[in-house]
Amino acid sequence: MVVKVVRLLLSYAVEAEYRKDNPAQRIKLSKLGEYRAWSDDECAAFEQRWAQGTMQRRAYDLAKYTGQRCGDLARMTRANCKDGSIKVVQQKTGAELWMRQHKDLIAELASVQHLSLLTTAKNAAFDSDSLRPASASIRAAVLRNP
């Protein structure tokens, strides 16, 4: 998307004779895929399907209220929660963030007994490789059976 906008701007610059060429024309676009936000109906269906206290709802609330990637969600622990805030060191960028926790997220996390905030059915911590497909299958189940 950014490359397309830069191409457009530089094309204008060439037409207006501010530049002689458009170097953005030589940049190859990569196929990254698209992610869309959940609709209000999808969120409502998910919230109806999985009650508070379930791992699915906890993962949903963490994603909804922190906006973090699956890998970052999988690495969150109770030790990251302090005084109404939650800390994450982003795996992709290395950035350390402290975010205020939404009241619904605080309530959801209050019952967590395991060190990891997200655990499998066998009570083991998720890792980013296992959480991503699990979250995709959870979402697909909601969309099939609201």
15-37 pLDDT per residue, tens: 999 999 999 888 887 776 666 78
Question: Are both 89 and 57 inside the same structural domain?
Answer: yes
95-143 pLDDT per residue, tens: 999 999 999 999 999 988 899 999 888 888 888 778 877 777 667 766 6
The pLDDT score that the predictor gives to residue 80 is 92
How far is 125 from 114, CA to CA, in rounded Å? 8
> Which residues share a beta bridge with 115?
none
The pLDDT score that the predictor gives to residue 144 is 64
- The number of domains in the chain is 2
Please indicate, yes or no, whether the overall pTM of this predicted structure exceeds 0.85: no
CATH number at residue 80: 1.10.443.10
Question: Are both 62 and 134 inside the same structural domain?
Answer: yes
Instruction: Give residues with Cβ within 8 angstroms of 34, minimum separation 6.
Output: none
The pLDDT score that the predictor gives to residue 105 is 94
Question: Are both 83 and 119 inside the same structural domain?
Answer: yes
Angle between helices 55-66 and 40-49 (to 10 degrees): 150
Encoded tokens for 12: 């204008």
Question: Are both 11 and 63 inside the same structural domain?
Answer: no
Question: Are both 99 and 75 inside the same structural domain?
Answer: yes
Q: Strand, helix or coil at 129?
A: helix
Question: Are both 49 and 77 inside the same structural domain?
Answer: yes
The secondary element (H helix, E strand) that includes residue 138 is: helix 128-144
Domain with 17 in it = 1-34
41-90 pLDDT per residue, tens: 988 988 998 899 988 899 999 999 998 888 899 999 999 999 999 999 89
The pLDDT score that the predictor gives to residue 19 is 93
Question: Are both 6 and 44 inside the same structural domain?
Answer: no
Largest CA distance in the chain: 65
